[in-house]
Amino acid sequence: MLGKYFQGTLPQLIERARLLKGKIPRTLPRDYGALIRTCETELDNIIGRLRGLQKVPAAGGTALHHARLRQFKRAIADLDHIETTAIAVLNRAHIDDHHANRLLYRICQEIGYPLVTPTVTTLSTSYFYIDTKLNLMFIPPAEGSFLLHLPDLYHELGHPLLTHQDHPVLDRLRVQYLECMAHIHDHFAAQRAKEEQRRGPRGFKDQIDLWELLWSKYWLTEFFCDLYATLTLGPAFAWSHLHLYLKMGGHAFALPDGTRNLSHPADDARMRAILEALRRSGFQDEATEINRRWQEALGLTTDVPAPDYMHCYAAEPIIFMVEKAAKGVADMECRLARPGTSDPVHLMLDQAWRHFWADPANYQRWEANAVTELFALCDGKVRSDAGSAKTS
Amino acid sequence: MSDPGLYTHLYAQLRDCAELIDHVIVDLETNGMAGVKEREALAGLLRALQAAPASSLDAVLLANVLRENRIASRANWSEIADAIDRGDASKAMIGRLEELARILESERADMHARMHGSHAR
C-alpha cells in the first residue's frame, strides 16, 4: 500500500516544494538574504528526502515501512513549516520589518554577535520568539515603535547560540551550558538521595523528578538566554523583565505540578539570576535599585513562594549558572555591558529606562523622538553618538 | 521567548535525532552500507546517553524524552550501540531501535502541533 501511496504522493509534494522556491520574492532588501538562502537550502533538503523515499524499494519488512512512513511525515511537517512561516514572512515583508532588521543588525554589530544576524518579522502572534532553525525572529507588529521591550531582542539572540553545533566559538558557551546541565542533575540527585535517606513522601520525589526534567528540557536554556541578554545589555534587560512581569506575568513564584507544567522558569527565579549577573558586571547600584522595585512589584500582588520553592530554585545552582554563563559569554568574546559602555543602541535602551523612571509622565514624548532617532541611526542617517543626545 | 520559540528549538533537535534513527533502521533493514557515518553517530549518541547524558545536547534531549516515557528508560543503550556497530539487523535489535524511533516520532509530532498552536489533526 505504502509503495503505491508514495508513487502518487511524492511527485506532487516534490512539485509543491519546487513551487514554494518560486514564490520567494526577488525584490527584498539584502537583510532577507540569509532567510532566503535558508529557505532554499531547507526546500532542497526536503526535496532530497522525498526523492530518497522514491528510491527505497517497495518490498521490505514492517520496520522498514514504519521508518519510511515516519520519514515521510517529517518531510511533510518540515515542508508545512517552511510554507507557513518562512515563505509567508518573505511574502508579507513590510517596512516595519525592514526597520527591525536594521536595528537587530546594529545590535549584533555592537555586541559582537558570533552568528549571522537573524531575520526579523513583525508577524508574531505570541510576543517575542525565535525559530532557531530558520534563524527567524518574531516580534509583535507594533513593538518596533517602542523601546521598553526591545531588550528582549537580546534574549532571543541567545537561543541560536545554544542550538548551532560544530561552531568553535559557540562551543565555548556550550561547554559551560553542559557543565550547568550536569550540575543541575547532580543537585537534584543529591536532593533525591536526601529524601530517600529521610524516607520522605513519594510525591515529593516525583516533584524533584519533574523539576529536574523542566530545568533540563526548558529552563536552563531560558536562564542562559536571560543571562546572555543581561551580560551584553545590562540593566535595561532587568527592567524589561520587571515590565513584562507586571504586564503579563503569572505567579512570580510559580511551581509546576502534575497537571500544570511550566515551559518558563518562575519570574522571581529569573530576576534573581539577572540581578546576580548585573552585580558581577559592575552594576551593583542598578541591581539594588531594580531589586527594590522588584520587591515593590511583588508587594502589589498576593504572590508568595510555596515551601518547596527554594528546593526547585535553590540559590547555589543559580549562582553556579550565572558564573558559567558569564564565563561562556566572555570566552565567546562578545562585548560585555559595563557601566561605561557607550555603544549607541545600548545607550538608547539604557536611557529609555532611566527616563521612564525619572519622568514617567513625559516618557512617551521622549520615546517618540528617541525611536525616530534610533531608526535614523540604524539607517545610517545620523552620527553614532545618538544614545547620549536628544534626551530632553 | 514565548512558547513557540522553545518548541521550534526542541522540534529541530527531535527531528534530527528521529531522522538519524530511522536512517539507521532503513540502512540495517536494506543491508545498505551507505549509512556508516549515521551508524557511528547513533552508536556514539547511545553510548553518551548511557554513560554521561549531560555530555552533548543530543544526549540531553534523548535522556529527557526517555525520562518522560519511562517504558524505554531501562534499556542498556551501550549494548544497542555495540549491535549497531556490528550491523546487527536481528528482529530484537530492530525492535529496540523502533521503540526509540516511535517515541521520538510521537514527541516530534506533539511538538509540531504545539509550534503551530494547535493539536488539531
**Min Cα–Cα distance to chain A from B114, Å:** 12
Q: Nearest chain B Cα to A151, which residue? A: B1
Q: In what order do the strands lie in the sheet with A129-131?
A: A119-121, A136-138, A129-131
Q: Report in angstroms the alpha-carbon separations of B41 from A258, B37, B48, B61.
A: 35, 6, 11, 15
How far away is chain B from the Cα of A302, in angstroms, using its nearest Cα?
24
Q: What is the pLDDT of residue B102?
A: 94
Among B8, B97, B100, B110, pick the best mutation site for testing chain A contact (most A Cβ within 10 A). B8
Indicate if the pLDDT at residue A385 is higher than 70.
Answer: no
Under an 8 A CB cutoff, do A263 and B15 touch? no
Q: Is A175 exposed, middle or buried (0-12, 13-18, 19+ CB in 10 A)?
A: middle
**How many whole angstroms separate alpha carbon A188 and alpha carbon A190?**
5
| Residues B35-87 pLDDT 10s | 789 999 999 999 999 888 888 999 999 999 988 887 655 678 999 999 999 98
Residue percentage of chain A with pLDDT more than 70: 96
The domains of chain B are located at 3-112
pLDDT at position A258 over 80: no
Tell me the residues of chain B between 23 and 82 that have a Cβ less than 8 Å away from chain A: 25-26, 29-30, 52-57, 60, 63-64, 67-68
User: Between residues A161 and A261, which one has the greater pLDDT?
Assistant: A161
DSSP-assigned letter for residue A168? H
**Candidate from A56, A130, A182 with C-beta closest to B5:** A130
**CA dihedral sign, ordered A118, A124, A126, A128:** positive
Q: Does B113 touch chain A (CB under 8 A)?
A: no
Name residues whose C-beta falls within 8 Å of residue A151's C-beta, 6 or more positions apart in sequence: A229, A233, A236, A237, A239, A240, A349
> What chain A residue is nearest to B10 in terms of C-alpha separation?
A217
How many other C-beta atoms lie within 10 A of the C-beta of residue A372? 13
pLDDT tens for A87-141 read 999 998 888 889 999 999 999 999 999 999 999 999 887 789 999 999 999 999 8
CA nearest B3 in A: which residue?
A: A263
Structure confidence at residue A144 as a pLDDT band (50, 70, 90): confident
Per-residue pLDDT, averaged over A280-305, amounts to: 96
The predicted-structure confidence for B2-38, as pLDDT tens digits, reads as follows 677 788 888 999 999 999 999 999 999 887 766 789 9
Task: Give the CB-side neighbour count of residue A60, counting CA atoms within 13 A.
Answer: 24
pLDDT for A311 beyond 50? yes
In this predicted structure, what is the pLDDT of residue B73? 58
- Distance of alpha carbon A356 from its chain centroid, rounded? 25
